[in-house]
Amino acid sequence: MKNQILGLLVTISYIGLFGCAPSDSSSSKVSTASTGSSADLQGTYKISCAVDDDFYKVTTLAVRATDILETATAYSDSDCTAKVYSIVTSSTDVNIGDGILSDNGTPLQQFTFKLSSMTITSFVNTVTSGFNMQGYCGLTWVTNTSNEVTGKTCDTLTFPSQNSTAKNIYQKSGNTLYFGEPSGTTYPTTVNNAAYMKQ
């Protein structure tokens, strides 16, 4: 169970929705286009219940003005009804930068955001006990109670510090959003294959 939990934490660690493997049709920056508006991102998006290693996962993303709230929840069943734990990431100061074109001419948009908060909540007593046995994040864990993990080292993971700024790109295709892998130093040049559907 410990290895399963840590494996999923890796996949949904920092703005977890951005943490999937790049698609085969990924994009790269080749030219500069016009700047965009955050209005393009407004709304609620969702990746429905899908298998993710040893668990199933649902991810929701809410963009309001210049804030992003992402909730990635792991479930033990294929119907995504039995919660195991969740990671909730709150980001602020979303700033839309330059538009770019991919190598096949697809419009992409650069943006930055600032991490405000990241919490982990365990919903299962066995998971809670496992976290406490290994001293995960150096915290005391209680079932159904959130713990703040920004800036903490948890086993092999070091979560970003509060107010740290990340760079990313997104591609919007109709009501679907695709994101890149965030970086604290450079903009990514590819988008992931995780599709966020507008609700």
- Per-residue pLDDT of 31-75, as tens digits, reads 333 344 577 789 999 999 988 878 899 999 999 989 999 999 999
- Residue 183: its pLDDT value, please? 87
- Tens-digit pLDDT profile for residues 138-185: 999 999 999 999 999 888 888 889 999 999 999 998 999 999 988 889
Rounded to the nearest integer, the mean pLDDT of the chain is 82
Cβ atoms of 150 and 117 closer than 8 Å: yes
The residues near 59 (Cβ < 8 Å, ≥ 6 apart) are 12, 16, 17, 46, 47, 70, 71, 72, 73, 194, 196
Mean pLDDT of 25-34: 40
* Nearest to 83, CA basis, from 116, 120, 47, 118: 120
Q: Provide the total of helices (H) and of strands (E) in the chain, helices listed first.
A: 2, 12
- Residue 154: its pLDDT value, please? 86
Q: What are the beta bridge partners of residue 146?
A: 121
For residues 42 and 170, what is the distance between their CA atoms, to the nearest angstrom?
13
For residues 121 and 13, what is the distance between their CA atoms, to the nearest angstrom?
13
